[in-house]
Chains A and B, each alone.
Chain A
Amino acid sequence: MSPRRSAFLRGLFSALPFMLVIAPFGLLFGVVGTEAGLNIVEVMGFSIIVIAGAAQFAAVQMLADNAPTVIILATSLAVNLRMAMYSASLTPHLGQAPVGLRALMAYCLVDQTYAAAMIDYEKNPHQSPGEKIAFFFGAVLPVCPLWYVATYVGAQVGTAIPPEFALDFAVPITFLAMIAPMLRTVAHVAAAGVSIALSLALAFVPYNGGLLVAAAAAMATGAWIEAWTDRRRAT
């Protein structure tokens, strides 16, 4: 087997477990989007054009709350700021690919493909750039197409779910479930605490404007505590 083919297959297999994450999230987005009043084209449009779970949920929730467009975009894009960090850390590995391929890889750069690729590039540092690219697309295969399919299925069954199931609460539960495992350090906990406290205290600010202030302050808090902890460890 050629090294590229074996890298592609290694990527494919390493991303297989993520199917267990992607399928239910995609289903849930299809259901929640449909319940919020989006038609099938709009729901699919989100999953194909945006292809970022948390930001899609946030945008749909705020659209349903009739928030202004600028605020919805600022908040959802803030959720996706981490993608720039992913992009920066993959550049030493994938930066030599032709620009068209880099654009395609950028489109497919999600939490799961990023995690799979970074783990493999660190474990097998002597790969050629071609193998690294092949690995990346191998990891894309079980993740991105499934996101579209799961969204479609969710949108089809969405309208059949009665209101007693309190589906409005699927989004908060999903977000909390995503955040809780991330609270590994004091800095993360403090950032989450500042975010909650300020967003509640500023709830009177119209159009979710308080959330942006809360998020900025929370980011600064996390970064500041991390810097402070690093400095203390160094001395």
Chain B
Amino acid sequence: MIEDTAQVWIVMIVLGLGTFLLRFSFLGMIGSRPMPLWALRLLRYTPVAVLPGLVAPMVLWPTATGGETDPARLAAACAAVAMGLLSRNVFAAIFAGAAALYLTPWLLG
């Protein structure tokens, strides 16, 4: 649970400002020079570099089970990835993950 209100507001405001500056960066500077190729290359991989690493420990060692690996959560993660790869559709993937999350405990009795 989140209890530190001051931290919440600091994160919210600094993250908001920082995100705005990222969005305004090039649009804000008139006649901006084109970004170097290597920079564009690195930026292209940011979501795929950050999010899997953020999720992996949550999948293997969920806080809700006290860090114990949980078959339902593991199945849900696999189902979401498999459906996402097959359908290329974010919502089909979320649905498959949720279905596996709720069906696995029921199937395992």
A interface residue numbers (CB < 8 A to B): 20-21, 24, 36-38, 42, 45-46, 49-52, 54-55, 58-61, 63-65, 69, 72-73, 75-88, 90-91, 94-96, 99, 102-103, 105-107, 109, 165-166, 168-169, 171-183, 187-188, 191-196, 198-200, 203, 211, 214-216, 218-223, 226-227
* CB nearest to B40 among chain A residues: A85
Give the A-B contact count at a CB cut-off of 8 A: 291
Q: Which of B40, B44, B52, B94 touches A195 (beta carbons < 8 Å)?
A: B52
Q: Does B55 contact A (CB under 8 A)?
A: yes
Q: Which residues of B contact A42 (CB under 8 A)?
A: 5, 8-9, 12
* CB nearest to A198 among chain B residues: B53
CA distance A181 to B91 in the complex (A): 11
Q: Which residues of A contact B50 (CB under 8 A)?
A: 58, 75, 78-79, 195, 211, 215, 218
* CB nearest to B41 among chain A residues: A223
Q: Does B107 contact A (CB under 8 A)?
A: no
**Secondary structure class of chain B's binding surface, majority of residues:** helix
Q: A106-B20, A178-B51, A215-B53 are in contact. Are A45 and B12 (CB under 8 A)?
A: yes
CB-based contact A54/B44 at 8 Å:
no
The tally of residues in B whose CB lies under 8 Å from a CB in A reads: 78
CB-based contact A73/B15 at 8 Å:
yes
Proximity bits, B56-82, A CB within 8 Å = 1, else 0: 111111111000000011001100111
CB under 8 Å from chain A, chain B span 3-19 = 3-5, 7-16, 18-19
CB-based contact A63/B7 at 8 Å:
yes
Measured CB to CB, the closest approach of chain A to B12, in angstroms, equals: 5
CB-based contact A78/B46 at 8 Å:
yes
* CB nearest to A25 among chain B residues: B90
CB-based contact B81/A79 at 8 Å:
no
Q: Which residues of A contact B61 (CB under 8 A)?
A: 203
CB-based contact B19/A83 at 8 Å:
yes
CB-based contact A191/B45 at 8 Å:
yes
Q: Which residues of A contact B11 (CB under 8 A)?
A: 59, 63, 69, 72-73, 76
Q: Which of B7, B54, B76, B89 touches A175 (beta carbons < 8 Å)?
A: B54
Q: Which residues of A contact B52 (CB under 8 A)?
A: 175-176, 179, 192-193, 195-196, 199, 218
CB-based contact B19/A85 at 8 Å:
no
In the complex, besides A72-B15, A103-B24, A195-B48, 16 extra interface pairs with C-beta distance below 8 angstroms are A21-B91, A51-B16, A59-B15, A80-B18, A85-B44, A88-B26, A106-B20, A166-B72, A166-B73, A166-B101, A177-B84, A188-B45, A218-B49, A222-B42, A222-B45, A223-B38
Q: A69-B10, A72-B11, A211-B54 are in contact. Are A109 and B23 (CB under 8 A)?
A: yes
Q: Does B108 contact A (CB under 8 A)?
A: no
Q: Which residues of A contact B15 (CB under 8 A)?
A: 49-50, 55, 59, 72-73, 76-77
Measured CB to CB, the closest approach of chain A to B59, in angstroms, equals: 6
* CB nearest to A35 among chain B residues: B1
CB-based contact B53/A81 at 8 Å:
no
